[in-house]
Chain A
Amino acid sequence: MSMGNQTHRTGTGSAGFSGRLKLAGKTSWPYLLLLPTVALLFAFTLYPLLQGMWMSLFRRGLVVVEQLPETTPVFVGFDNYMQLFGDKDFTVSLVRTVVFVIIAVPLQLIASLALALLLAPQNRFNAVVRTIVFFPSMISGLIIGVIWAWLFARNSGLVNYGLSLVNIPAVPWLEQDQLAQIAVVVAWIWGGAGFNMMILIAGLTAIPKDLYEAAAIDGTSRWRTFTRITLPLLEPSIVVVVVLGVIGAFQVYEIVVSLTTGGPGRATVFLVQNIYETAFRKPNQAGLAAAQSGILFVILMVLTIIQLRVARRRG
């Protein structure tokens, strides 16, 4: 009896332990699977972010060399942030970037939506065109800038050559402030519209077909069907496109560098280029550049939270 009890006790203990182990295994397994992603996120996103924030509190060189005292970090608190208010290059590039976001993101959304509506029906022709439209999303921003620089070159570009064939004088696409800014917007929209189109097509295909059938039976106009069915049900995809677009537009850099290098003069120097120039072209201003990056991060975070909250409330 006692042996039986003992056996029973032992059996219960063993089952409890192995059960707990199994349970622990079950519950911890997902965390283990997440661990590599979290580790990479920490190493390449969170840590640099925190380090950048910390760096913004110092006056220091980009590279600290022991033998060069001027590169050594000196704690200055929020002086770098205060300095930015009086920094004309920073404020001008920030305002220019905000204007770029306000203009380029809605235009890209409209272009992407138009493409998605055109190319959503499944057929071979659309599949080929979709691939072509998506292609710019697979190439680097630098290459996109180079392509458009070739097209827009004033004295040797394809666009002006085309215009010359119909006796239209050469247009200074990249040499006049507003035209150069428009050129950047065009190149940026071209570069990202294909990717957004795919997100929107995915959203479109998820809309139940019977809603359209019901609308058709009711004799609803195409415009009304679009505004009352398509747009509301596509809103989650549109939010994703807008959030990604705003983040991308605030960070516009590679396209500009290879398209206009920030010119004419400084007419297309946006915030990220200004951060780069502060960090890499001016001596010992890495803290100031980090402060600019900090402000960019806060702007993006606030805008993203607002967009997501608005979308959630509407949903």
Chain B
Amino acid sequence: MKVFKRSALALLAAVALAGPAMAAELQLLWYVDGDEQEQKLRGMLDEYTKLHPETTFDLQITPYDGVSEKFRQFAASGIMPDVSLTSSMEPVIRPFLVDWAQVNGPDWINQFVKGWADGAKLGDKVIAAPLDVTAVGIFYNAEAFEKAGVPLPAPGVTWDEVLPVLKQVSEKAGVRFPLVWDVSAHRYLTYQFQYGNHIYSEDAPIQVAMDDASWVTTLKHFVKITEDYMPPGLWSGSSSDKPYDMFVNQQAVAYMSGSWQIGSFNDGAEFKWQAGPTPKGTVSSSNVGGNYLVAFNTSKHLDEATSFVNWMTSPEVQAEYAKTFGLLPANKNAPAVDYSSPDAAAAVKGFQADLENSPRYAATDQAWPEMQAGVWDAVKASVTQVVAGQVTPEEAVASVRKAAEAAIAASQ
């Protein structure tokens, strides 16, 4: 009897101790565009918990711009979440990231869109799991074109051809501005890509591959576009006008942004819009971007964290995630996405085609770990300072080259 009692007590103690250890609450750091997206995300997390009742989530929403800051705090304090969404792996957190080549094998990364998958590699390691890919491209206010009686641009259209058309539509349809363009280095760089310019070599060893004269010419063209077709001062670097707001409020005929806007336009735009065709320069190019999931090797629930990331990046869930948020799946094996709206479906298809038709450097340029904040800042400042008349285009391009070379030197 005594032995039975002792055994029962031991069993109870074991269960009591083992219970909490089996349950895992994963801390997730994520950014979203608004409450609606947060609810959709929570829905997906609940779905995961239904499948894996032992795993629950503590979701921390942070502004996109604040992620880098958070990462530095994590590195300084050594206290990290289990999993985070990010679009770049800051150097300070790289030592703390799970190596997916070890978890899933070296070939696992090959199932993802190549350009974005390359950005997850650090030497022999794979430090992130691609979640979705984005493409930079143009949106048109189709209603304004109809009102003006002007046909929408056809595939293969060039910037030189499309800009007068946008102006014509703006005048005829009474839309305030022909074009708005996100004030971002990433979006501007796409214009340089379209004229064959890029920052770094496509293959290792990394080198600065800028043709300075061509960069200067393209920069001058871009500044002229900002002066003649965009809201005055938009690219001065200090304007408080928001390109997105101007487009959704029908104050601009066209909006140069990217595929991540599809979901928002699909949900909220009160006019007929169309994504693409994105005009080209001397070549067609988008700019490959997107998001990754990273897991931290400091996690107390490493197995649960890696299982969750593997689930999120699996082909079927990728399709569901892409459908829910109006994104392009990063996993090449994802089944065809059934977007509920024909506009969204057409937009996604167009952007996917843009990515496929882009030159390799549209993916490799930002995949290099050297493409740090310093380089992005110099790229953006190169335009804003020329627009503000503070430097010449030649000086601006020289500053981009200097920052790019400094980034290589720093990494070595």
A residues with a Cβ closer than 8 A to B are 61-63, 65-68, 70-71, 149-150, 152-157, 170, 172, 174-177, 180, 259-268, 277, 280-284
Contact = CB atoms under 8 A, between A and B. Distances in A.
B64 to A, nearest CB: 16
By DSSP majority rule, is chain A's interface helix, strand, loop, or mixed? loop
A65 B390 contact: no
A283 B412 CA distance: 12
Most buried by A among B241, B372, B374, B389: B241
A175 B377 CA distance: 19
Contacts of B149: none
B164 interface: no
A265 B387 contact: yes
B403 to A, nearest CB: 9
Nearest to B77: A63
Given A70-B410, A170-B232, A284-B410, A262 B238 contact: yes
Contacts of B232: 154-155, 170, 172, 175
Contacts of A156: 240-241
A265 B381 contact: yes
A1 B144 CA distance: 117
Q: Which 7 A-B pairs have the closest CB atoms?
A: A175-B233, A263-B238, A263-B237, A265-B388, A67-B95, A264-B236, A264-B388
A177 B241 contact: no
B245 to A, nearest CB: 8
A284 B92 CA distance: 10
29 contacts: A62-B72, A63-B76, A65-B95, A70-B410, A71-B92, A153-B239, A154-B241, A155-B241, A156-B240, A156-B241, A172-B233, A174-B233, A174-B238, A174-B239, A175-B232, A175-B236, A175-B388, A176-B233, A260-B237, A262-B238, A263-B236, A264-B384, A264-B387, A265-B384, A265-B385, A266-B381, A267-B390, A280-B72, A283-B374
Most buried by A among B240, B372, B389: B240
B236 A155 contact: no
A67 B93 CA distance: 10
Nearest to A180: B238
Given A63-B92, A68-B94, 7 more contacts: A153-B241, A155-B231, A174-B240, A180-B238, A264-B384, A281-B374, A283-B410
Interface of B: 69, 72, 75-76, 91-92, 94-95, 176, 231-233, 236-241, 246, 372-374, 377, 381, 384-385, 387-391, 407, 410
A261 B233 contact: no
Given A71-B92, A266-B381, A150 B387 contact: no
Contacts of A71: 92
A113 B246 CA distance: 42
By DSSP majority rule, is chain B's interface helix, strand, loop, or mixed? helix
B237 A261 contact: yes
A281 B377 contact: yes
A281 B407 CA distance: 12
A264 B237 contact: yes
A274 to B, nearest CB: 12
A174 B95 contact: no
B407 A262 contact: no
Given A68-B92, A281-B373, A283-B372, A265 B391 contact: yes
Nearest to B403: A282
A152 B238 CA distance: 11
A173 to B, nearest CB: 9
B75 A65 contact: yes
Most buried by B among A66, A152, A265, A268: A265
B66 to A, nearest CB: 12
Most buried by B among A157, A172, A180, A263: A263
B239 A266 contact: no
A280 B373 CA distance: 9
Contact of A154 (B72, B233, B384, B390): B233
Contact of A266 (B76, B94, B373, B390): B390
Given A153-B240, A153-B241, A172-B232, A177 B92 contact: no
A267 B390 CA distance: 8
Most buried by B among A149, A153, A283: A283
A172 B232 CA distance: 8
A154 B231 contact: yes
Contacts of A150: 240
A263 B241 CA distance: 13
Nearest to A170: B232
Contacts of B241: 153-156
Most buried by A among B92, B94, B232: B92
Nearest to B386: A265
A312 B237 CA distance: 45
A262 B377 CA distance: 13
A177 B389 CA distance: 9
A62 to B, nearest CB: 6
A7 to B, nearest CB: 64
Contacts of B388: 175, 177, 263-265, 267
B123 to A, nearest CB: 13
A154 B237 CA distance: 13
Given A175-B238, A263-B236, A264-B237, A68 B91 contact: yes
Contacts of A277: 377
Contacts of B390: 177, 264-267
B72 A263 contact: no
Given A70-B410, A155-B231, A265-B390, A260 B238 contact: yes
Contacts of A149: 240
Contact of B238 (A155, A157, A268, A283): A268
A11 B114 CA distance: 93
Most buried by A among B237, B246, B381, B390: B237
A68 B237 contact: no
Nearest to A149: B240
Contact of B240 (A152, A268, A280): A152
Contacts of B377: 277, 281
Contacts of B385: 265-266
Contacts of B381: 265-266
A16 B385 CA distance: 78
Contacts of A174: 233, 236, 238-240
Contacts of B236: 172, 174-175, 263-265
A61 B92 contact: yes
A139 to B, nearest CB: 18
B12 to A, nearest CB: 43
